[in-house]
């Protein structure tokens, strides 16, 4: 992947000037007329980014490369915590194959799409802006509905994971009133931290990432002389493919979530592609190496690999000290996951307000910290309400809604290449249109599989959310027409 990254962004990355600079015309021959690769321009292309309602007035809260890497890392994974059900569902053999192959058919294509569009349209809202500019406001709203709901549903899983791991150290928080109090307090405290700004949240994510990954580095190193490769060939007696694929998908998706904060990134044309390259490598190795160590160096049967078993495996391999460290690391990881997803969800609402899909007050910034306080507050309240659902229902519902959004996102990516071939793209996926279609079709087939194996309960929940979202869209249109609330026009800058 790194050999394909070609960077050539201008020094100034502000949305208005950034989108108006035209690329150098590329050589063209009579046999090379693909408009997505050959760009003979006679004048600079018009910006298609919406004009921001409110922007940060200082550079102190801008995201730089290292914090962005770790925010992407926590948007997606936060470490191998939560990958254990893949082993219990199908056994070490299929779990290892899954985490080896899935990044190539899913993570890399999604990252490439995100790298191109985040650098070409570096404004808040990310994928909502892409769908809106490709297919119009209704599809922008649909994208926003599916991705926002999948984001807050996904976010709701982390307080539950936090309480689950913490209960291994202090059992009263695992059930009853102790559980409800823990989940509620975590939601409130971490949302307050989110108000302090992306720069603080980003560097906090760096610290959390180092602390949560360190025990797995040690576990992998200590496990090497104890590994028996034959253990990797074990299969589960009763394979649960639904759980297996949902676990794979849940642990390796959301690569595009950080795109909603593109307007807060310093020099996004350079920073986003580089951050995605590092995050993909770090995340992939962060899953496969601990899984190889845990399954190869212990005699545990697949049935033992429930949520949190990595800590038990570490105890078998190195002793209780490492078991406790991984349990603490899991708590820290869930904090990082929550913070990253909450930031993404809040800034998505900012982008939707800039597009005129939501009222202007969603783009309002808090004094001093200049954070989107309305989006943070709303996302926290919804997340808190969903935190008490079962973990399996949370994961499956988030996957289904996210799948719908990703199919629309791949379609937006292809259509923007056709509709706006002259749009300046600091990073371009180095493929012609047929190659791009194939690149997007492969992961789209997996998305359809994830939706096909969903339970009726998940299907009903997802359809219900979609219908409700469409109803809100028309309510917002009515409010805009009647002047009940103030909206942006959504015009380009």
Mean pLDDT for 376-398 is 80
30: pLDDT strictly greater than 80:
no
User: For the chain, percent helix, then strand, then coil, each to nearest 5?
Assistant: 70, 0, 30
Q: How confident is the model at residue 393 (pLDDT cuts 50, 70, 90)?
A: low
pTM: 0.85
Give 392 or 447, the one with higher predicted confidence. 447
Give residue 488's pLDDT: 93
Cα(207)–Cα(336) distance, integer angstroms: 9
In Å, how far are 31, 33, 273, 431 from 28, measured between CA atoms? 8, 7, 26, 15
Report, in angstroms and rounded to the nearest whole number, the Rg of the chain calculated over CA atoms.
Answer: 22
**220: which 2 tokens?**
């992998």
Give residue 42's pLDDT: 37
Ranges of H-type helices in 355-390: 373-386
Is residue 89 left, alpha or beta, with left meaning phi > 0 and alpha meaning psi from -120 to 50? alpha
Mean pLDDT for 297-321 is 93
What b-and-e string marks burial along 61-71, b requiring 16 or more CB atoms within 10 Å of the CB? Answer: bbbeebbbbbb
Nearest C-alpha neighbor of 71 from the set 289, 287, 220, 256: 256
H/E segment holding residue 226: none
- Give me the count of residues in the chain: 493
Mean pLDDT for 434-453 is 92
HSE of 355, CA atoms in CB hemisphere, 13 A: 34
Helix (H, G, I), strand (E, B) or coil at 265: strand
Cα(209)–Cα(329) distance, integer angstroms: 9
Q: How confident is the model at residue 45 (pLDDT cuts 50, 70, 90)?
A: low
How far apart are the two ends of the chain, measured CA to CA in Å? 33
Give 44 or 281, the one with higher predicted confidence. 281
Nearest C-alpha neighbor of 167 from the set 315, 311, 303, 382: 311
Give 336 or 367, the one with higher predicted confidence. 336
Q: What is the pLDDT of residues 272-308, one digit of tens each?
A: 999 999 999 999 999 999 999 999 999 999 999 988 8
In Å, how far are 249, 287, 316 from 304, measured between CA atoms? 21, 18, 13
Mean pLDDT for 11-15 is 39
Q: What is the pLDDT of residues 203-224, one digit of tens each?
A: 999 999 999 999 999 999 999 9
Q: How confident is the model at residue 476 (pLDDT cuts 50, 70, 90)?
A: very high
56: pLDDT strictly greater than 50:
yes
Cα(143)–Cα(402) distance, integer angstroms: 9
Give residue 327's pLDDT: 87
CB 377 within 8 A of CB 286: no
């Amino acid at each position: 992947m790194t050999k394909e990254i070609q960077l050539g962004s201008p020094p100034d990355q502000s949305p208005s000037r950034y989108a108006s600079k035209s690329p150098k015309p590329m050589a063209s021959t009579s046999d090379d007329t693909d408009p997505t690769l050959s760009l003979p321009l006679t004048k600079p292309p018009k910006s298609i980014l919406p004009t921001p309602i409110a922007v940060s007035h200082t550079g102190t809260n801008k995201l730089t490369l290292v914090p962005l890497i770790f925010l992407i890392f926590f948007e997606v994974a936060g470490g191998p915590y939560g990958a254990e059900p893949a082993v219990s569902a199908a056994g070490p053999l299929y779990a290892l194959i899954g985490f080896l192959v899935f990044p190539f058919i899913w993570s890399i294509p999604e990252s490439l799409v995100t790298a191109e569009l985040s650098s070409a349209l570096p404004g808040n809202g990310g994928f909502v802006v892409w769908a809106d500019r490709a297919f119009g406001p209704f599809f922008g709203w649909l994208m926003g509905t599916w991705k926002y709901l999948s984001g807050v549903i996904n976010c709701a899983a982390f307080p539950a994971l936090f309480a689950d791991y913490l209960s291994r150290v202090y059992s009263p928080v695992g059930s009853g009133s102790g559980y409800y109090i823990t989940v509620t307090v975590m939601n409130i405290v971490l949302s307050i931290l989110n108000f302090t700004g992306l720069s603080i949240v980003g560097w906090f994510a760096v610290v959390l990432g180092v602390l949560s990954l360190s025990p797995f580095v040690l576990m992998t190193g200590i496990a090497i002389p104890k590994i028996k490769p034959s253990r990797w060939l074990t299969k589960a007696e009763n394979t649960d493919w639904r759980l297996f694929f949902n676990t794979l998908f849940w642990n390796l998706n959301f690569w595009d979530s950080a795109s909603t904060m593109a307007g807060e990134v310093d020099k996004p044309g350079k920073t986003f592609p580089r951050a995605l390259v590092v995050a993909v490598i770090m995340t992939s190795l962060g899953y496969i190496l601990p899984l190889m160590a845990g399954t190869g160096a212990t005699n545990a049967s697949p049935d033992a690999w429930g949520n949190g078993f990595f800590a038990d495996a570490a105890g078998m391999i190195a002793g209780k000290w490492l078991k406790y460290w991984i349990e603490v690391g899991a708590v820290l990881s869930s904090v990082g996951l929550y913070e990253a997803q909450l930031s993404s969800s809040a800034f998505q609402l900012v982008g939707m307000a800039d597009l005129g899909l939501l009222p202007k007050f969603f783009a309002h910034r808090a004094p001093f910290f200049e954070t989107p306080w309305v989006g943070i507050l709303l996302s926290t309240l919804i997340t808190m309400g969903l935190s008490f659902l079962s973990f399996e229902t949370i994961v499956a519902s988030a996957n289904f809604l996210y799948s719908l959004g990703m199919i629309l996102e791949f379609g937006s990516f292809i259509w923007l290449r056709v509709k706006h071939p002259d749009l300046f793209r600091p990073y371009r996926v180095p493929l012609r249109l047929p190659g791009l279609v194939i690149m997007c079709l492969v992961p789209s087939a997996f998305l359809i599989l994830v939706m096909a194996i969903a339970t009726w309960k998940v299907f009903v929940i997802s359809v219900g959310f979609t219908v409700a979202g469409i109803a809100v869209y028309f309510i917002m249109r009515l409010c805009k027409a009647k002047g009940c609330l103030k909206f942006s026009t959504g015009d380009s800058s």
